[in-house]
Structure 1
Amino acid sequence: MNATATATKSKKDSAPSREDFAALLEQSFAEQDLAEGSVIKGTVTAIEKDVAVIDVGLKTEGRVALREFGGHGREHGLKVGDEVEVYLERIENALGEAVISRDKARREESWVKLEEAFNKNEKVEGVIFNQVKGGYTVDLDGAVAFLPRSQVDIRPVRDVGPLMNMPQPFQILKMDRRRGNIVVSRRTVLEETRAEQRQELVQNLEEGQVIDGVVKNITDYGAFVDLGGIDGLLHVTDIAWRRVNHPTEVLNIGQTVKVKIIKINHETHRISLGMKQLLADPWEGIEAKYPVGTRFSGRVTNITDYGAFVELEPGIEGLIHVSEMSWTKKNVHPGKIVSSSQEVEVQVLEVDSSKRRISLGLKQTLQNPWEAFAEKYKQGTEVEGEVKNKTEFGLFLGLDGDVDGMVHLSDLDWNRPGEVAIEDYKKGDMVKAVVLDVDVEKERISLGIKQLGGNPVSSSAAAGGGELKKNAVVTVEVVEVQDGGLEVKLVDGGASAYIRRADLARDRNDQRPERFSVGQKVDARVTSADKKTGKIGLSIKAQEVAQEKEAMEKYGSSDSGASLGDILGAALKQRSDDKSED
């Protein structure tokens, strides 16, 4: 080889051409297997202000903002020479630079780890960094998840500020990589942790154990007491033996109390507590303290639709049923008879120690108004009262002592039906009546209005004088002629009566009402006289039959040869002569 050739070869070995360099560069790209949309490794070559320059083995270096290496709540900690993973978006942009991203690389990496944790039901660490509609966003080392407001804590949290930008565990509830959706829960983690703690604490507690606790929360139905990491419920009925309307009457939040463990549910970890169980039971020997029939003073603590509760002593309450509150106010709400905190005198009606019940009576401490009325107004006494009500049975009158008396339809009028006579009265009328009967046990007072005018049977005199009796002969005046008979009134006494068509004459042909005229006076015989109802039964037929019998006895029977006509003629002549003499 000549010198020229040797020189030429040496020059080629020491200084490769541009074409050789390009070929070597393409070969290097091929060996790295660099593809857009993949995660690749690079080396930090420089840090310029807020940008990191990274060599990923391409023609030119890429630039990534330093904030992408930090994240929420932590510094980037990046230095020259560090090897990092980045996401290659484009090999070369318009400026000839590689377009790379640490966020997208971390996101891709995070999705792989998160899917693995989700499948294994493992917890992941994240940082709450922003508030959105309905909840918050959480950074799971590059992947962004949604935290619903209801999943922040076991109880509603008003201020989430202290939880922001602080690394803490979460449980993945739902993942959808295609849509890029992740839903997480902090509450699930807290409940699981709390359940483990509760289980451990519950195992160290026993029913009947007395322990100190701190009142943590108060509700209408009781108070929650912290027993050192686990809560127990102190129900309002177990705070004291006496009635406690609301726990705040006895307890305050933060107050230290001594309680007794009543019951432990090891499945639900629920603990029932009691305070009154640490005190003596006031119901022991209750029958001896409150014998039936004795009277005590007490305070009204509660009023319901069915009665009122009265505290006889702390822890001992009795019920005055609505039926035992008043003698006269039957359909009135208890709140209109007594009021809360009112001091009342009551009588013990019944004691049941097994059911912890005492039945009390309020009306028993007052005189029975029906007894008082019976003592003051004897039978036959005249009273006056206001018409309270009109019914199909009669009138109800308000009487002395706030009691009512009833005038039955049959006791309204002697001569008219009750249905007719009741129309004369209206509500509010002041009416006089007579006391007919008082039934204290049934709480009934019977009155009569027609009795004020006297009994027609007693007041009407017979033709021969004296009180009306059966078979007495009376003279009546025809008041009205009807198809069925005659409406008449007694000449003496004025009592009304009715003579039926069949009683108008002995002879059937003469039983015609039209034979008589209004104002005509005739004799009739009394067939019935009811003092109670005042009804008088009359019969002209009975009078004729009696006259015939009397004539036959006076003038001889048919056996003497005299005819019936002769006998009747003699009798009528004698009666005519007697009237002429009169």
Structure 2
Amino acid sequence: MTQATASAGDTASKESFAALLDESFGSSTNVEGSVLKGTVVAIENDVALIDVGLKSEGRVALKEFASQGQKAELKVGDEVEVYLDRMEDKNGEAVLSREKARREEAWTQLEKSFNENQRVTGVIFGRVKGGFTVDLSGAVAFLPGSQVDIRPVRDIGPLMGTPQPFQILKMDRARGNIVVSRRAVLEESRAEARSELIANLKEGQVLQGVVKNITDYGAFVDLGGVDGLLHVTDIAWRRINHPSEALNIGQTVQVQVIRFNPETQRISLGMKQLEADPWEGVEAKYPVGTKFTGRVTNITDYGAFVELEPGIEGLVHVSEMSWTKKNVHPGKIVSTSQEVEVMVLDVDPQKRRISLGLKQTMENPWANFVEKHPVGSVLEGEVKNITEFGLFVGLPGDIDGMVHLSDLDWEKPGEQALADYKKGDIVKVKLLDVDVEKERISLGIKQLETDPFAAAAGSIKKGDVVTCTVTAVQDGGVEVSVGEGMTGFIRKTDLSRERSEQRPDRFAVGEKLDAKVTAIDSKTRKVNLSIKAKEVEEDKKAMADYGSSDSGASLGDILGAAISRAQRDRSTKEEADEGTEE
């Protein structure tokens, strides 16, 4: 064969190959950038040699054939699809890529899913600014942080490396951008689950949910597409001041549907309803009069709540906290979490109330006081307080007694006598009365001395004519002193038998006069007197002594004689008094 013949043969052969190539792939321009099918002809170290029907094979790293986090399972003879970057590189080999082939395949399928609004499956494999990267069967997509879940996710670790459903929000093949959302899928599933749950929901149903949010008044529980409110009073039978004491966000809880309103779709949930009610048979467990030890759970202005057992609390009213500390805030007697002994005073199962007493577990100082100090005893104490109605005096046993204004002094008015005392004074008092039930002790200071009025009143009686001294002249009459320690009063109409003489201004302070005792009032400590009554009595006596209308004597004669006799008697008495004074 000549050289020319050989050259012509080679040329024909080359043209024939080119024609075959064009027939299979089109021009080289069309082949490059395409996905081709090839056969693994050899595996050398970490590289697979692949024949795609070109004049030279291409090399592809084995890791490109492996799934995320797994080893490549590839052997000689396997048929694979690869992407042709270039026909040949500087070594004359085809430049192939399995990843790009997968990406191209993925993009084609993803575009179809995007157009048909279908979900796609991917794996979260990396973290980037503002979100995460997702492998969608070879194509890399961006998952914004806000699109990971319906609620903020603190730890995404459990989601990474696990196939998850996603919704494509937008994609741009030219720029290679894909944005996906896991939240959209969850919301769609949640809506479906919500509809199914609402349709089958009924009161009394027991469900499992996740604590979604906690407020001061309760917790919102996600039941799987719909939220229900678990009020703080329905979390447990025991007292819970704040839901966070018993629940945490994200916690899985078992709840019972207490109320369900289909119109508003409001759901009320309870946890304590799944447990036995501790109030059942409470009267038998806590009989009135028995003592128990409990824990102070809450303190208010009106008392303290004591837990007898989980779910059973009783109130110790402020009036039942101490025998002696009456106007003290309960927080100064007990403290929260303190263990205290209490007595059951009353049980009301219907209202779920138990009344407790703290002071009843201690000795009653009032009963103890009356045993040691009988009525009539004389005691000494400090003036603790002064009020408008008397003195409060400290007594043994850390209790106080009261001296009323009327029991301060026999002579002085109460307000005037009160001014003689000040807080901190040590005084002697007499025990007048003790009322254990009302916790009252009545004391007296004036009772330490004899009542001068009583002593003076013992020397006179109603009907006696006494000599008294004018101490004050008033419009309604004359005030006088009678003997020692007695005050008397002569009303205007009793100043004289004659109307013209019934004038108080006829008398002067210090003037002595005789009057008849008409009444002795021990309560007001006053003696009522009458000059008029004395004159009438004298007239009757004169009539009896000096005659009557039958004897022929005139009334003037009788009265004149009687008056003369009275004047003589008065003169004789005054002379005797003067002699005594000398």
For the 8 Å contact 1:207–1:263, the answer to whether it is kept is: yes
Give 1:572's match in structure 2, choosing from 561, 567, 573: 567
1:111-510 equivalences in 2 (<5 Å): 153-157=149-153, 187=183, 189-196=185-192, 262-263=256-257, 272-273=270-271, 277=275, 282-293=278-289, 295-305=290-300, 306-313=302-309, 315-460=311-456, 466-481=458-473, 485-490=477-482, 492-510=483-501
SS at match of 2:284: helix
SS at match of 2:152: coil
For the 8 Å contact 2:217–2:242, the answer to whether it is kept is: yes
Inter-partner Cα distance in structure 1 for 2:132 and 2:268: 32
Give 1:534's match in structure 2, choosing from 525, 542, 547: 525
Inter-partner Cα distance in structure 2 for 1:545 and 1:449: 43
Deviation at 1:531, TM superposition (A): 1.9
Residue-by-residue CA offset, 1:191-226 (whole Å, 9 max, x unaligned): 332454577789999988999x89989968889999
Deviation at 1:578, TM superposition (A): 5.7
Inter-partner Cα distance in structure 2 for 1:551 and 1:367: 74
SS at match of 2:481: strand
**CA 1:552–1:525 in structure 2 vs 1: closer, same or farther (change >3 Å)?**
same
Deviation at 1:566, TM superposition (A): 1.9
Give 1:553's match in structure 2, choosing from 539, 544, 560: 544
Inter-partner Cα distance in structure 1 for 2:472 and 2:345: 63
**CA 1:185–1:422 in structure 2 vs 1: closer, same or farther (change >3 Å)?**
farther
For the 8 Å contact 2:219–2:230, the answer to whether it is kept is: yes
**CA 1:148–1:356 in structure 2 vs 1: closer, same or farther (change >3 Å)?**
same
Could you tell me which amino acid in structure 2 is paired with residue 262 of structure 1?
Q
SS at match of 1:460: helix
Inter-partner Cα distance in structure 2 for 1:468 and 1:371: 43
For the 8 Å contact 1:476–1:522, the answer to whether it is kept is: yes
Q: TM-score, normalised by structure 2?
A: 0.58
Deviation at 1:495, TM superposition (A): 2.8
Inter-partner Cα distance in structure 1 for 2:267 and 2:212: 18
1:27-38 equivalences in 2 (<5 Å): none
Q: Does residue 544 in structure 1 map to residue 544 in structure 2?
A: no
**CA 1:207–1:542 in structure 2 vs 1: closer, same or farther (change >3 Å)?**
closer
How many residues of Structure 1 are paired with residues of Structure 2 in the alignment?
A: 465
Ranges in structure 1 where 5+ consecutive residues have no aligned partner: 1-42, 48-76, 82-109, 139-143, 175-182
Residue-by-residue CA offset, 1:255-311 (whole Å, 9 max, x unaligned): 9x9x8653387867886445962x6x5544332333222x22312231221332334
Inter-partner Cα distance in structure 1 for 2:115 and 2:540: 130
Deviation at 1:417, TM superposition (A): 3.9
Inter-partner Cα distance in structure 2 for 1:265 and 1:522: 94
Deviation at 1:153, TM superposition (A): 3.6
Inter-partner Cα distance in structure 2 for 1:376 and 1:460: 35
Percent of aligned pairs with the same amino acid:
61
**CA 1:188–1:489 in structure 2 vs 1: closer, same or farther (change >3 Å)?**
farther
Could you tell me which amino acid in structure 2 is paired with residue 469 of structure 1?
K
For the 8 Å contact 2:256–2:273, the answer to whether it is kept is: no
Deviation at 1:374, TM superposition (A): 4.5
* Alignment-derived partner of residue 53 in structure 1: none
Residue-by-residue CA offset, 1:367-401 (whole Å, 9 max, x unaligned): 54444445555555444554455545444444444
Residue-by-residue CA offset, 1:454-507 (whole Å, 9 max, x unaligned): 43431215xxxx4443223333333445565444333x3233344444444444
Could you tell me which amino acid in structure 1 is paired with residue 340 of structure 2?
V
1:98-109 equivalences in 2 (<5 Å): none
* Alignment-derived partner of residue 62 in structure 1: none
Inter-partner Cα distance in structure 1 for 2:344 and 2:157: 62
Deviation at 1:323, TM superposition (A): 2.9
Residue-by-residue CA offset, 1:383-437 (whole Å, 9 max, x unaligned): 4554455545444444444444444444444444434444444444444444444
* Alignment-derived partner of residue 63 in structure 1: none
For the 8 Å contact 2:230–2:268, the answer to whether it is kept is: no
Inter-partner Cα distance in structure 1 for 2:370 and 2:133: 86
Inter-partner Cα distance in structure 2 for 1:348 and 1:381: 36
For the 8 Å contact 2:204–2:258, the answer to whether it is kept is: no
Ranges in structure 2 where 5+ consecutive residues have no aligned partner: 1-28, 34-81, 87-109, 135-140, 171-178, 578-582
Inter-partner Cα distance in structure 1 for 2:402 and 2:165: 83
**CA 1:517–1:224 in structure 2 vs 1: closer, same or farther (change >3 Å)?**
closer
Inter-partner Cα distance in structure 2 for 1:432 and 1:198: 82
**CA 1:285–1:45 in structure 2 vs 1: closer, same or farther (change >3 Å)?**
closer
SS at match of 1:156: coil
**CA 1:315–1:80 in structure 2 vs 1: closer, same or farther (change >3 Å)?**
closer
**CA 1:404–1:549 in structure 2 vs 1: closer, same or farther (change >3 Å)?**
farther
* Alignment-derived partner of residue 24 in structure 1: none
SS at match of 2:346: strand
Deviation at 1:534, TM superposition (A): 1.9
For the 8 Å contact 1:498–1:537, the answer to whether it is kept is: yes
SS at match of 2:563: helix
Deviation at 1:529, TM superposition (A): 1.8
Inter-partner Cα distance in structure 2 for 1:433 and 1:79: 119
Could you tell me which amino acid in structure 2 is paired with residue 289 of structure 1?
K
* Alignment-derived partner of residue 95 in structure 1: none
**CA 1:354–1:483 in structure 2 vs 1: closer, same or farther (change >3 Å)?**
closer
Inter-partner Cα distance in structure 1 for 2:393 and 2:450: 21
Could you tell me which amino acid in structure 2 is paired with residue 192 of structure 1?
E
Inter-partner Cα distance in structure 2 for 1:398 and 1:260: 60
For the 8 Å contact 1:154–1:191, the answer to whether it is kept is: yes
Deviates more, 1:421-430 or 1:531-540: 421-430
Inter-partner Cα distance in structure 1 for 2:322 and 2:169: 65
For the 8 Å contact 1:299–1:310, the answer to whether it is kept is: yes
Inter-partner Cα distance in structure 1 for 2:259 and 2:496: 99
**CA 1:499–1:197 in structure 2 vs 1: closer, same or farther (change >3 Å)?**
same
Inter-partner Cα distance in structure 1 for 2:30 and 2:357: 95
Deviates more, 1:533-542 or 1:506-515: 506-515
For the 8 Å contact 1:217–1:223, the answer to whether it is kept is: yes
SS at match of 2:328: coil
Inter-partner Cα distance in structure 1 for 2:181 and 2:385: 71
